[in-house]
Chains A and B, each alone.
Chain A
Amino acid sequence: MLLKRLSEASGASGDEGEVRSLLKEELALHAEEVTTDALGNLYFKKGIGSKPRVMVVAHMDEVGLMVVGYEKSGLLRVAKVGSIDDRVLASKVVAIGKDRVPGVIGAKAVHLQKPDERTKAIKIDNLYIDLGVRSQEEAEKLVKIGDYGTFTVTAREAGDNCLIGKAFDNRAGCAVLAELLKEEFALELNAVFTVQEEVGLRGAGVAAYRLHPDLALVIETTAAADVVGSKESAYVTKLGDGPALTLMDSTYIAPQQIVDLVVETAEKLNIPYQFRRLTTAGTDAGIISQTHAGILSAVISIPCRYIHSPASIINLDDWQNTLRLARGILNAVAEGGLRLEGTA
């Protein structure tokens, strides 16, 4: 399953090579043109010259760690790439660098901790990666400063048509985009797998500048906090309720006609959908919509529990419905469902 392979591939922000190769291999035959740019964004073009020009975006980077120093004992000092809650790092398995050198993020044994230590969060300054070596010299032979590390997790089916794994943000979105690229639409489709979204929406702005599309559709993965201990008004999204449309986030407000089109499309095609109830955090749409003289943009997301941690959960029905909704939106746009310019 492509989604599983994408989830297991390693690609922290700035180090997306493995994901890029995987996607190129899988999709090159489905596009008329395949290119990359100086930051590493991957572009597939299809229907060159048709109108309107649509850019469908999914970021291929995940959050991870970077080696920033060594201890004399051979333990590695790391920094976070993207936003991770320090507290999910303790006691996890990671793989570092091109050779995927295995390591563990250890934490002081509870037996050895003082009572007041036990209630505090373990901060990144107190976390190390242990490669199993005994000295700095040995460590230097295995990994370099600047090497990236990602969690080692095998994706597996669980529960009611769900999947457990890491990096569903945003490999789940990439998998949807990969499927879309295999289909035909009556418009110019630019499937762009962007880089460095997690460290500041860095790749998408550059890609939008290059393509200058009439419309951008961003396929993302968003938090689902529908778990015990949360208030219903704070769920953000619910697993199983379908793809979520973003109305507003910290970088973007959905134009009324976008909201209308997506809702209309979902209802016409009988696709379950929900609204993303959080107005903080941003996506590639934020920077895309403010590129050039403004680009009309939409964001639909797959709900995901425990996002940005090594053990996330998505519902495969949600994934399918996100694909159906994206397909529906593209067809509606091809039929002229959107007013792409302003009014005179």
Chain B
Amino acid sequence: MCRDYIAIFYKKRNNISVVRAASFKGEKNGDNIIRGKTGRTLKLLVVNVCKIGGTSLEIKRFLKDICEAPGVSGYEEYVAKVVRAAFCSHVDEVRQDRMGNVVFLKKGSSSAERRPRILLAAHMDEIGLMVTKIEEGGFLRFSAVGGIDPRTIVGQEVILYGREKLPGVIGVKPPHLVPAEELGKGHKMEDLHIDIALTEERVRKLVSVGDLALIRRELIQLAGNTVAAKAMDDRAGVAVLLSCLQELERLRHEADVYAVATVQEEVGVRGAAMATYGIVPDLGIAVDVTHGEMPGVLEHEACKLGKGPGITVGPNIHTKISEEIIRVAKEYRLPYQLEAFPGPTGTDARAIQVTRGGIPTGLLSIPLRYMHTSVELLDMDDLKLSGRLLAYFIASVDLEFVEGLSCC
């Protein structure tokens, strides 16, 4: 039976085994020989054959679960559970530090005394709303945790996490009552309130200052491979880590991989600094989202959807790492886009690079439209491609590569 294959096999280059991959249509016989349509044959050394896109359903289900899970910066406990449940069968060790970062270790295959240590970071916290005051009538004033444009939350349904999960809305005046000159002005955070339709007395029993609220949003399937949800920034990055770990099960990698679901990125890239301090990796790759093209944004300021991840270059990124990621992408013919950023990026990479004595850092980004709204939108292919590229890069990292990073 003719099927699509990605064959993973070893090839020697300079006497070192290097992973290669080829995808082609063919038929496999009992001796693990695949004969392609042109008569070309390949003997599989490692019987790890997968159908293209075979794990995509699992990734999409995980993405739905994780995007819908609550986990505002500083309060990531629930989403951490979702992440742990999905990741733990793919790794050797799991640990959570006192601030909530979850660290997954997938050991490398090298038997040498010292294995290269690679840190992968994707933040699991999301932006949200925090109750600042209970007003007369039971209406709730709030402020943002992380950067939120107040104009994107008006008229939304919310879930308020008080003593119970309470449904509510962010109410606005009906247009009939709005004076003409106000219609042109954007709403300000201080002018908005959450209405949970309870009396003040009941509200005070169920809600405290400091309670959190999130926009109610389920994952939406749009045309083709496009999905939209809240918190894609950066739960999509966490999904990329999962996808990468799955790919790594089919690859041989020398390095120990520390995949970390970090906390508190949205309030100042805080969790990644702490996690990196504890792990002290030889290099670190952050996986985050970047702006996808949309109206009003110049072409060079955004990436295209469906054309693969963005690979960042610039002062925040170690040149040899971005060069190697590009080389790997070209070798396996994986699409990618180049992003130049002239200073410290607004991602975990910013903190990783200057931890302790300095860590060589890279950044991979998934193109995303409408960042920091509840309808963040991306192409699932970009997500899978990012996971694959990351895995192949990890497989190419050996001690020699790591040692070369400290020389300039």
Contacts and interface: CB of A to CB of B under 8 A. Distances in A.
Contacts of B405: 38
A282 interface: no
Contacts of B353: 39, 202
B193 to A, nearest CB: 37
Interface residues of B, number: 27
Given A17-B408, A200-B343, A38 B318 contact: yes
Contacts of B299: 69
B354 interface: yes
B314 interface: yes
Contacts of B313: 145-146
A76 to B, nearest CB: 10
A80 B314 CA distance: 12
A36 B315 contact: no
Nearest to B338: A145
B408 A79 contact: no
B406 interface: yes
Interface stretch (B72-80, B120-128, B357-365, B367-375): B357-365
Contact of A81 (B318, B342, B358, B407): B342
B359 A66 contact: no
B18 to A, nearest CB: 24
Interface residues of A, number: 37
Contacts of A38: 318, 357-360, 405-406
A15 B406 CA distance: 15
B356 interface: yes
B315 A209 contact: no
Nearest to A206: B358
A200 B357 contact: no
A40 B408 contact: yes
A205 B406 contact: no
Given A37-B357, A206-B357, A145 B340 contact: yes
Interface string B191-232: 000000000000000000000000000000000000000000
Contacts of B301: 68-69
Interface string B343-360: 110000000011011111
B358 A66 contact: no
A199 B342 contact: yes
A67 interface: yes
Given A199-B343, A206-B354, A69 B300 contact: yes
Interface of B: 298-301, 313-316, 318, 338-344, 353-354, 356-360, 405-408
Interface of A: 13-15, 17, 20, 36-42, 65-70, 77, 79-82, 125, 144-146, 195-196, 199-200, 202-203, 205-206, 209-210
Given A37-B358, A66-B340, A79-B340, 12 more contacts: A36-B408, A39-B353, A39-B358, A65-B342, A80-B342, A146-B314, A202-B353, A206-B354, A206-B358, A209-B356, A209-B357, A209-B358
23 contacts: A13-B342, A14-B314, A20-B408, A37-B358, A38-B357, A38-B405, A39-B353, A39-B358, A65-B342, A66-B342, A68-B342, A69-B299, A77-B298, A77-B300, A79-B342, A81-B315, A81-B342, A82-B342, A145-B338, A145-B340, A199-B344, A206-B356, A210-B358
